[in-house]
Amino acid sequence: AQTVTQSQPEMSVQEAETVTLSCTYDTSENNYYLFWYKQPPSRQMILVIRQEAYKQQNATENRFSVNFQKAAKSFSLKISDSQLGDTAMDFCAFMKHGGAQKLVFGQGTRLTINP
């Protein structure tokens, strides 16, 4: 079974700073996807970024980028130029390629951006 671990329950930074959220996972699969979702106070689950395990290039989406280290089973999220609207609960998630497409989530990191 796959597991996802987020070791930072809470983080807090000042607006415009860069912040990195950590995520590690455990799997015996070779082909899979990794995701970061954010959940703002509205509680909606919003996909931030995705990474396909077979791709060596790290995914980027505007101010969001990942550092994917397959051998180390690490998938961190970097948020540059953080904004007040980035305040949210952030979840790392794993999905095995094919099959049932079940998402396995980490415990979440509560990120607060301070003005």
Chain residues binding other proteins by CB under 8 A are 4, 6, 9, 33, 42-45, 47, 50, 52, 91, 93, 95, 97-108
24-35 core/surface letters (b: 16 or more CB in 10 A; e: else): bbebeeeebbbb
| Nearer to other proteins (CB atom), residue 81 or residue 97 | 97
**Euclidean distance between CA atoms 15 and 25, whole angstroms:** 29
Strands 109-114 and 10-14: what pairing?
Answer: parallel
Least Å from the CB of residue 83 to other proteins: 22
| Nearer to other proteins (CB atom), residue 27 or residue 80 | 27
Least Å from the CB of residue 100 to other proteins: 6
| Nearer to other proteins (CB atom), residue 97 or residue 114 | 97
Tokens encoding 29: 């699969």
The letter for the amino acid at 58 is: N
Residues in Cβ contact with 74 at an 8 Å cutoff, skipping those fewer than 6 apart: 22, 23, 24, 25, 67, 68
Least Å from the CB of residue 9 to other proteins: 7
Least Å from the CB of residue 98 to other proteins: 5
| Nearer to other proteins (CB atom), residue 2 or residue 65 | 2
